[in-house]
Amino acid sequence: MAETTNAFEMAQRQFDHVAELLKLDPQVREILRWPLREFHFRIPVRMDDGSIKVFQGFRVQHNDARGPSKGGIRFHPAETIDTVRALATWMTWKCAVVDIPLGGGKGGVIVDPATLSTSEKERLVRGWVQQMWKNIGPRQDVPAPDVGTTPQMMGWMMDEYSKLVGEYTPGVITGKPVGGGGSLGRTEATGFGVIYTVREAMKHLKLDPTQCLAAVQGFGNVAQYAAIGFTEQLGGKVVCVSYWDREDRTSYTVSKADGIDPRFLMSITDQYGTIDKTKAREAGYTIESGDAWISKDVDVLIPAALEGQINAESVHKISPRVKLIAEGANGPTTPEADEVIKQRGIFLIPDFLCNAGGVTVSYFESVQNDMNFYWPKEEVLAKLDQKMTAAFQAVLELAEKEKVFMRDAAYMVAINRVVKAMELRGWI
Ligand code: NAD
């Protein structure tokens, strides 16, 4: 994220703004502005060369009034406690806006996973569980993957937890591999969920997707399936994606004016998201600077990489053609940029609504774990579509009724549900 953007300050500012609109009691605000619990811990790991390296780990449980905390674990070299706090806070709103019975949590480790061998990664994630196992669990807090973590790592974490508690407990972690307690459709869930909301927004805006172009930032899990969904399900064209190039230590935009083929690009992308530039060029793609995606002459922008990407400076590069921004990433737009987007009348699908597909299928995964009965992929995706569409329509309805920005409407729906749960439990 941009160095100047503190994600947690941003999450608090967004909350404060809506708390004001809702005339929320100051004592209730005091509860919701901060996480209920935070864990900071050190994880010593035996490296392959025999040395011991100590990693900094975090887990933040923002609010669990509506059910166990839920949220991914991010492995990133620039991870900070404030990023984890922000992401945990957004998870509370995300679970509430899609109306699944879970609260908000998030975890992290300061590490570049690309610098670790497979066995070092396994020891690191098992170490994370050894530090946290007493405070996570299917009825307490259920982690999942995020940037830099994978289904395989979730499988190891579930195994470590099951060993420590003495019984097979698949519901402690979601995003596990299929066949190891995972749900079909989880891989596609966030990106496809983004597209279900884009489809609904386009209906509302009376846009024909087959005539529309999109630019995507990122080419990881969310961006890949958002690009596939935009082209294959909606029949639109994606003119670029962008990615962080690990070797060159910079970001690039990979473009094709007549539309990229996301499945081809996936076939030349390594496990950390680095696209093979030579093969891309050979196939007729242009390699541009990392920020080129934002100024593309398109109808739809899908930021699906990191926080703070659409900010006071970059927002002015957005083309006049853009009518819709679908926030695949968490916190991609700063409050300053929001003001410009509002003034320009660009329709925005806010992050915690737009990218709620992942947590929704994570919830389906734990439901299937509890039942010990697994649904086919079509059933998972159909249920996901239903949830995302209902959530989008509820937010849109409120936005129109109260004449507020979509982000504010999503916050209003979510905050009201969390406050209601706290009331029903007698917390307030
Ligand atoms: P990922 O690790 O699979 O992909 C991240 C992508 O961002 C990679 O393609 C990487 O190359 C790219 N990237 C990193 N820095 C960049 C930069 N400076 N410029 C351009 N591209 C850059 O992660 P993901 O799971 O796709 O998550 C992306 C975003 O979506 C994050 O904000 C995450 O919190 C959010 N999110 C993910 C899920 C999920 O289910 N995976 C769910 C909800 C929200």
Instruction: Provide the 3-class DSSP secondary structure of residue 108.
Output: strand
Q: Which residues pair with 310 in a beta bridge?
A: 333
Instruction: Provide the 3-class DSSP secondary structure of residue 106.
Output: strand
What pLDDT sits at residue 273? 83
Give the pLDDT mean for 67-85. 96
- Ligand 1 centre from 334 Cα, in Å? 17
Residue 202 has pLDDT above 50, yes or no: yes
Residue 2 has pLDDT above 70, yes or no: no
Confidence of residue 18 (pLDDT cuts 50, 70, 90): very high
Q: What is the pLDDT of residues 94-138, one digit of tens each?
A: 999 999 999 999 999 999 999 999 999 999 999 999 999 999 999
What pLDDT sits at residue 157? 98
Give the pLDDT mean for 207-218. 98
What pLDDT sits at residue 1? 44
| Residue 65 structure tokens | 């009034």
Q: Which residues pair with 250 in a beta bridge?
A: 245
Q: What is the pLDDT of residues 342-390, one digit of tens each?
A: 999 999 999 999 999 999 999 999 999 999 999 999 999 999 999 999 9
Residue whose CA is closest, atom 14 of ligand 1?
A: 244
Give the pLDDT mean for 324-330. 96
Residue 391 has pLDDT above 80, yes or no: yes
Q: What is the pLDDT of residues 255-264, one digit of tens each?
A: 999 999 999 9
Residue whose CA is closest, atom 31 of ligand 1?
A: 329
Using most ligand atoms within 8 A of CB, pick from 85, 87, 222 the residue to mutate for ligand 1.
Answer: 222
Instruction: Provide the 3-class DSSP secondary structure of residue 322.
Output: coil
Sheet holding 103-110: strands in order across? 37-46, 52-63, 103-110, 69-76, 141-145
Residue 141 has pLDDT above 60, yes or no: yes
Residue 66 has pLDDT above 90, yes or no: yes
What pLDDT sits at residue 376? 98
- Ligand 1 centre from 402 Cα, in Å? 33
Q: Given its phi and psi angles, is residue 249 left (phi above 0), alpha (psi -120 to 50 degrees) or beta? A: left
Residue whose CA is closest, atom 1 of ligand 1?
A: 220
Distance CA 356, CA 345 (A): 24
Taken in order 341, 343, 349, 352, the sign of the CA dihedral is: positive
- Ligand 1 centre from 252 Cα, in Å? 14
User: Residue 273: CA atoms inside 13 Å, Cβ hemisphere, count?
Assistant: 28
Using most ligand atoms within 8 A of CB, pick from 98, 153, 154, 243 the residue to mutate for ligand 1.
Answer: 243
Give the pLDDT mean for 392-411. 96
Write out residues with Cβ below 6 Å of ligand 1: 146-148, 190, 217-223, 242-244, 251, 273, 290, 304-306, 328-330, 355, 358
The mean pLDDT value of the chain amounts to 96
Residue whose CA is closest, atom 42 of ligand 1?
A: 358
Which residue numbers are catalytic? 106
Q: What is the pLDDT of residues 162-185, one digit of tens each?
A: 999 999 999 999 999 999 999 999
